Amino acid sequence: MPDKKAWTANDIPDLSGKTIVVTGGNSGIGYEAALEFARKRADVILACRDLGKARTAAAQIAASAAGAKVDVMELDLSNLASVRGFSDAFHLQHQALHVLCNNAGVMAIPYRQTADGFEMQFGTNHLGHFALTGLLLDRLLATEGARVVNVASGAHRFGSIRFDDLQWKNGYRKWRAYGQSKLANLLFTLELQRKVDAAGKKLLAVACHPGYAATNLQAVGPKMSGSSVMEYLSEAGNRLLAQSAAMGALPTEYAAVAPDVHGGDYIGPDGMAELWGHPAPVGRSAAAQDGAAASRLWEVSEQLTNVHYAF
């Protein structure tokens, strides 16, 4: 039998009338996904911290996609007040939310704290998106066929949830902290789908990862650390080894719109070590399937963010 045809952005169906929010949609994976959604006539919202960069990205998308509907809204995931402000503004402007792409994130940066005192990677990559999803849950549940897409990483495999020190106040290690935040993305997806199913709702919670894609994410940590050598190496790796950001965005696009996606799926590249390739269901670590840890993390996340989900 012939192999199944590789899925590409050309397989995205018409998205007319669909509202899609992409956090961090001004660059990298988020930008490429937003561009393809706009090309298929979705109403796309770039939810970004830097409004100037977001407006530039929106203009580029509009120039590349005839008739594109692209809006820009301010969202700083490292500040829960900003997350609530975004939710309030979204509720005033939109009655439906078909896809929430929780894409924005930081990777392997020096120790920093969010405005609310959380370790920056855990606070931005997990808690910010946890709060955002909870605050937009009513719109998601009221929209037929809605999905939450959480962008995780293969780095979840070396992560662990340090319940005794989630904020890394002792012995901070930037890569392990990143791994914790990405494992948290998968546990959040697992528990969200479990709660949705228990409530008899139709929302799909799906996770994905881009593999090794050429974006500016890799260079941020070295720049913040002042390491020109590591900055050069990250840029060289992007040029020589990584797939394009457009290819890296395919798992996000697939998770958001493909008809054969199921709640709790994890989508990534189908090539060697999930580094490159076309989107397909992929495996995850045993820790990412730990229901007890997912439930505990959910409870802690509600306490830390003061966002309580109402199904």
Chain length of the chain: 311
Instruction: Indicate the DSSP class of residue 255.
Output: H
- Between the alpha carbon of residue 103 and those of residues 207, 248, 299, the distances in Å are 10, 12, 22
Considering just the CA atoms, what is the radius of gyration of the chain in Å? Answer: 18
Q: Are 168 and 162 in contact (CB under 8 A)?
A: yes
- Is 31 one of the catalytic residues? no
Give SS3 for 201. coil
E strand residue ranges, the chain: 19-23, 43-48, 69-74, 99-102, 147-151, 204-208, 266-269, 279-281
Active-site residue, selected from the candidate residues 111, 172, 178, 309: 178
Print the SS3 string covering 41-71. Answer: CCEEEEEECCHHHHHHHHHHHHHHCCCCEEE
- Residues with a known catalytic role: 178
